[in-house]
Amino acid sequence: MCYKNTGNHLSSYIEVESLCFSRGYRNIFDGLTLSIPRGKVTAIMGPSGIGKTTLLKLIGGQLRPDSGRVLVDGQDFQTLSREDLFEARSKMGMLFQSGALFSDISVFENVAFPLRAHTNLPEDMIRDIVIMKLNAVGLRGARDMMPSELSGGMTRRVALARSIVLDPALIMYDEPFAGQDPIAMGVLVQLIRLLNDTLGLTSVLVSHDISESLSICDHAIVIADGRVIGAGTPEELRKSDSALVNQFVNGLPDGPVPFHYPARDYVDDLLGDDLNTSFGTDGVARD
C-alpha cells in the first residue's frame, strides 16, 4: 500500500491517508484523504449516511480501517499497544450526539469519571477540577442534579464539561446541535468557539447545521460518495464552483442530488396503464 505524503504533519493534527472502510457489502470510504489543521475548529459536513460519525470513530481508534491509515498528532493508532492506545485516548475528548451521560450518577460524578479512570489525583483536586469545568459551561450550580433532571441543552453542556475535564488536545463533536432549541444552540456554538480558543484545542465538528457550523469553524470539509468534494474556509466553500458543494452548503432542493427519484415521463405516467414497470436509477424502464 502506498500512502500519500502530505508533508504537513507540523500544521496538521490529523492526517487521513488513502482510507478505505466498508461495512458488509457497503463501501463507506474508498481512498479518502484529508487533513485537519492543528489548533483550529474544523467542520466535517455532507449528506446523511455518508459516514461522518464513522470517520470520528476511525480517528478515535474505535474502528480499524480496511486499508490506509489515520495519523493523530503523528501517531498511527493501529500500531499502538492496548496500553498506549488507552493513554493516547486520554488526550482526546468526545461529545456524543446523545450526551451519553451515566444515568445513575450525579452531574458531578459524570464529569469526575474520566479523572477517576485516567488519573490518581486526590479527591480534593478532583473536586476543584470538576467545579472549574462545570463553571466553564455555566452549570456549576447543577453539580448535584441527576441527568434525568436536566434539559437537553444542559445535558450537552455537562457532556462537554466531561469531555474537557482531562484538558485534551483534541475534542470531537458528533452532531452537537441536533434537537436543541435556539437558545441552547447559541450557547453551544459560543462554547465550542470559546473553549477551542481559550484552551488551545483542535476541534472536529460533525454537523448537519450548516449555518451554525460555518459561523464558528476555521476550516470546513464536505464529504460525499466516500470522498472529499470540497475543503477550505467557510467563505471559500460558499464561493465553490462545485455544483454539489453549492447545493449542500446552500440547502438547495434540486441539483446534482435530484429532487425527483428517477421515473418515466410525467405525462406518460399519468396517461399510461402499465403499473408493473419499474425504473432504474438512470430513469430507464425495467420490466
pLDDT tens for each residue of 72-118 = 988 888 888 888 888 888 788 888 877 688 889 999 999 999 899 88
Q: Check if the beta carbon of residue 19 is closer than 8 Å to that of residue 69.
A: yes
Count: domains in the chain: 2
Cα 98 from Cα 174, distance rounded (Å): 9
First to last CA, the chain: 43
For residue 98, is it within any domain? yes
34 confidence band (pLDDT: 50, 70, 90): very high
If asked whether residues 153 and 270 sit together in one domain, one would say no
Looking up cell 434540486 gives 254
Q: Which domain holds residue 284?
A: 257-287
How open is the CA angle 114-120-39, to the nearest 5 degrees?
Answer: 50
Instruction: With CA atoms as reference, report the closest residue to 158 among 98, 198, 201.
Output: 98
For residue 1, is it within any domain? no
Let me know if 280 is exposed, middle or buried by CB neighbors in 10 A (0-12, 13-18, 19+): exposed
If asked whether residues 126 and 73 sit together in one domain, one would say yes
If asked whether residues 269 and 209 sit together in one domain, one would say no
If asked whether residues 201 and 232 sit together in one domain, one would say yes
If asked whether residues 203 and 287 sit together in one domain, one would say no
Let me know if 68 is exposed, middle or buried by CB neighbors in 10 A (0-12, 13-18, 19+): buried
Residue 189 burial (CB count, 10 A): 19
Least reliable range by pLDDT among 17-26, 173-182, 247-256: 247-256
pTM: 0.76
164 contacts: CB under 8 Å, gap ≥ 6: 93, 133, 136, 171, 195, 199, 201
Least reliable range by pLDDT among 99-103, 133-137, 149-153, 243-247: 243-247
Q: What is the largest CA-CA distance in the chain?
A: 79
> Which residue type occupies 198?
T
**CATH code for position 45:** 3.40.50.300
If asked whether residues 19 and 44 sit together in one domain, one would say yes
If asked whether residues 36 and 124 sit together in one domain, one would say yes
Backbone angles phi, psi at 75, to 5 degrees: -100, 135
For residue 121, is it within any domain? yes
